[in-house]
Each structure stands twice: as C-alpha cells, then as structure tokens.
C-alpha cells in the first residue's frame, strides 16, 4: 500500500512539476474512495428498486393475462402492457409500507409480538427465516423491527427466473379464479341457446377464442358489467386491492403458490357449474314442459304441423324466458362474487 502511495505521489509530481503536501494526496485519495463508495451504494439501491419494480410488475402481470377485465382479449396488448407498467410504477413505492402492515395483520392478539401459533401454515418457513436472521430461538417471537421488509433476492439469474414465475403465478391464480366463475355464465348461455333454438345465430366471443350463439356472450358480458359495479368497490378495484394486500405477507421475491390455492381452483370449477345450473335451470324446466306439451298436441291433433308450430312456440318461449333470466343474473352474481373475492383474499394473503 505504501509503495502504491509513493508511486501516485511521484506521478502527480511529474504532472504538476512542483512539490505538494503528501497529506493533500491522502485526503484526495480518501475523497475518491468516498465518491466511489457513494456511487456503488447508489447503484446498488437503484438495482434493488428496479428488481422490486420487475417483481411487482410480474405479480400484476398475472391480472393482464387471464383477468376478466384487465386481460380482456379485445383490449390491445400494448395498452395492457402500458397499464401494467404504470400500475407497477405507482405501487412499487408502497410495497415497504404494505409489508409493515403485514405485522399488524398477523398479530392477532395485538401484543406487538408474533408467535408461531399466529402464523399461517404457508408462512411458517418465512417465519423461521426471520427468526434466524434476528438471532432468536426457534420457539421465540418476532418484534416489529424483526419483521423486516427487505426482499430476499435470488443469487443468480436462474433463481430470479424461478421467483419471477412464482410472482406471475400468484397474479394468474387470482384472475383465473374470477374468470372460472364468470365462465359459468357462458356455459349457461350455451345451454339456453341449444334448448331455445338460438344456435343458428353464431357470434364470435374473443374471450374464449370461438363462436357461440347470442345468449352465451350476452350473459357473459352482463356478468362483466356486474363485476365492474360491485359494491362498495368495483370488482376490478377489489382485485387490485387483493394483489396489493399480498405484499403485506408476501413481499417481492417471496411469492408463494400454496397447494390449498390450487385445490381451491377445483372448487371454483364446481361453483361455476353450479352457477350455470342456477341460471339455466328455469329455462330448461319450461322448455322441457313445452316439448312435452307439443308432443301431446301432436298426438292429439295430427292435422297440425307440429314442427312449424313447435319452432315458433320454442322461439317465443325462449326469448321470453331469456329476458327473465337476464333479470335474475344480478342477484345470483351479487351473492357469489363478493364471497369469491374474500375467499381468494384469504387464500393468497394468508396462505393456509
């Protein structure tokens, strides 16, 4: 080190052509070291913020892939990408505040300490990691200052890709759950179209990438409209709120897709089929009775052209019953969607 100092002194003496205090050179070297340290710290902080932004963007990106509103196929991809980036820029500065709120959310008895019995099963591994980082025993408790908001960054690019996929899957699970339930209206509409004879009027549904008759797209679009005007907030705002609340217990880099959340999807498929039956059942019953009446009339009065009469009767009955069905859909969705969103919030924010 002394040899390097003497060489640097000689170099500056040759440049300036005069003698100068060696202490000045030591001060200049210390200042250069301070500037270099400041720039390295600034660069590290900028990289950490950028990594946080990328992970937040990936978690939000799941909503724009399969979301019933954000991921609508009729919205151009560049518009969806711009909206996702804008939301990520707005939410990234709030991530640390959300992680601080997570302590109060988990502290069920309000004593200012987190014990193991207060931690959901899906967060026990993270609880053990925080205990180890705070140098506390395995059966100890966490204080608010121990529940740090720093993200656990991957050590290499491969781990970063794995973490990014988990972040994306977390958002996809939320949007997929809502889409599955709303697809029950599409199924009910297809059943109504077949029974009422509307199958000849095919229209293209971009959400499902295929064609369908009039009742299916009509009920699905009605379901989207009801989803947007849910009280006290619209369904799309509630989905954003749930994604934001996941950062309270699952900060960027700690995304978790629990097995219970995946099992919940199978339950939502059953709930979607139940919704389709509830919506289409009245029309199915009436159309079955109409078929029985037409069959009885055909055998009783053979002179009547039952095929021509039956087609007209089914069309009129189908349209009338479809109008009645449309008026009952809001009540059915008002009972289903709020409970669905609350279930998903519990499963994602506090993974069991």
Which string of DSSP letters, residue by residue, matches 306-318?
HHHHHHHHHHHHH
| Rounded mean pLDDT for each run of 10 residues along the chain, 352 residues in total | 51 48 50 57 71 87 81 80 89 79 76 79 76 76 68 69 84 84 84 72 58 74 85 80 84 76 81 86 82 77 70 77 82 83 81 73
Indicate whether 338 belongs to any domain.
yes
Looking at the fold, whether 107 and 221 belong to one and the same domain comes out as no
Regarding whether 327 and 251 lie in a shared domain, the answer is: yes
Q: How many CA atoms lie within 13 A of 22 on its CB side?
A: 7
Phi, psi (degrees; rounded to nearest 5) at 92: -60, -45
Which one-letter DSSP state was computed for residue 154?
-
pLDDT of residue 52: 84
Tell how strand 203-205 and strand 210-212 pair up.
antiparallel
**Distance from C-alpha of 72 to C-alpha of 217, rounded to nearest angstrom:** 13
* Burial of residue 306 (number of CB atoms within 10 Å: 0-12, 13-18, 19+): middle
Are 252 and 151 spatial neighbours (Cβ–Cβ below 8 Å)?
yes
Q: Is residue 221 part of a domain?
A: yes
**Does 168 share its domain with 215?**
no
Total number of domains in the chain: 2
Distance CA 200, CA 213 (A): 7
Separation of alpha carbons 112 and 123, rounded Å: 18
71 domain residue, yes or no: yes
Q: Is there a domain that residue 283 lies in?
A: yes
Q: Is residue 272 part of a domain?
A: yes
- Are 150 and 274 part of one and the same domain? no
pLDDT of res. 240: 86
Q: Which of 173, 206, 233 is the last residue of a domain?
A: 173
> What pLDDT score does 22 carry?
46
CB atoms within 10 A of CB 20: 11
- pLDDT recorded at residue 15: 47
- Computed over its alpha carbons, how large is the radius of gyration of the chain? 31
277 within a domain of the structure (yes/no) = yes
pLDDT at 192: 81
330 and 262 in one domain?
Answer: yes
- Are 151 and 241 in the same domain? no
- What is the pLDDT at residue 216? 78
Is the same domain home to 211 and 336? yes
Q: What is the dihedral of CA 20, 22, 25, 26, to 10 degrees?
A: -160
**Which pLDDT score is estimated for 34?**
53
d(CA 102, CA 231): 25
In a domain, 179, yes or no: no
The candidate with the shortest Cα–Cα distance to 255, out of 176, 326, 332, 173, is 173
Kindly state whether residues 47 and 150 are assigned to the same domain: yes
Same domain, 202 and 99: no
Find the largest Cα–Cα distance for the chain. 126
Residue 137 CB coordination number (10 Å) = 8
Residue 287 CA: distances (Å) to CA of 79, 90, 303: 44, 52, 23
Measured CA to CA in angstroms, residue 90 lies from 61, 66, 84, 93 at distances of 14, 22, 10, 7
In a domain, 8, yes or no: no
Considering the domain architecture, whether residues 79 and 148 belong to the same structural domain is answered as yes
* pLDDT on residue 16: 46
Cβ within 8 Å of residue 340, ≥6 positions away: 177, 178, 181, 268, 271
Structure tokens of 158? 């491969």
Tokens of 279: 């919506």
**Residue 210: what pLDDT?**
58
- Let me know whether 317 and 209 are in one domain: yes
In which domain, by residue range, is 306 found?
Answer: 198-349
The verdict on 163 and 202 lying in the same domain is no
């Amino acid at each position: 080190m002394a040899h390097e100092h003497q060489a640097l002194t000689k170099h500056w003496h040759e440049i300036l052509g005069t003698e100068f205090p060696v202490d000045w050179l030591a001060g200049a070297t210390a200042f250069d070291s301070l500037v270099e340290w400041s720039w390295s710290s600034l660069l590290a902080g900028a990289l950490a913020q950028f990594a946080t932004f990328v992970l937040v963007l990936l978690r939000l990106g799941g909503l724009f892939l399969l979301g019933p509103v954000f991921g609508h196929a009729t919205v151009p991809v560049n518009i969806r990408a711009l909206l996702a980036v804008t939301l990520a820029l707005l939410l990234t500065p709030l991530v640390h505040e959300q992680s601080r709120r997570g302590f109060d959310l988990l502290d069920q008895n309000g004593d200012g300490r987190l014990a193991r019995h207060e931690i959901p099963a899906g967060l026990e591994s993270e609880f053990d990691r925080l205990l180890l980082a705070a140098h506390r025993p395995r059966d100890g408790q966490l204080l608010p200052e121990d529940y740090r908001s720093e993200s656990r960054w991957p050590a290499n690019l491969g781990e970063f890709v794995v973490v990014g996929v988990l972040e994306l899957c977390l958002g996809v699970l939320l949007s997929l759950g809502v889409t599955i339930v709303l697809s029950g209206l599409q199924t009910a509409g297809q059943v109504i179209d077949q029974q009422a004879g509307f199958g000849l009027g095919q229209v293209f549904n971009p959400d499902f990438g295929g064609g369908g008759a009039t009742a299916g797209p009509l009920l699905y679009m009605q379901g989207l409209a009801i989803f947007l005007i849910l009280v006290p907030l619209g369904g799309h705002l509630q989905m954003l709120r749930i994604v934001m609340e996941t950062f309270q217990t699952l900060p960027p880099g700690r995304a978790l897709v629990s097995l219970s959340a995946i099992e919940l999807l199978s339950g939502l498929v059953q709930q979607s089929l139940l919704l389709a039956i509830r919506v289409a059942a009245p029309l199915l019953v009436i159309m079955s009775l109409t078929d029985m009446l037409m069959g009885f009339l055909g055998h009783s009065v053979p002179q009547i052209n039952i095929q021509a009469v039956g087609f007209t009767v089914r069309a009129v009955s189908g349209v009338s019953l479809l109008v009645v069905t449309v008026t009952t859909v809001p009540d059915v969705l008002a009972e289903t969607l709020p409970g669905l969103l609350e279930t998903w919030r519990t499963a994602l924010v506090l993974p069991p």
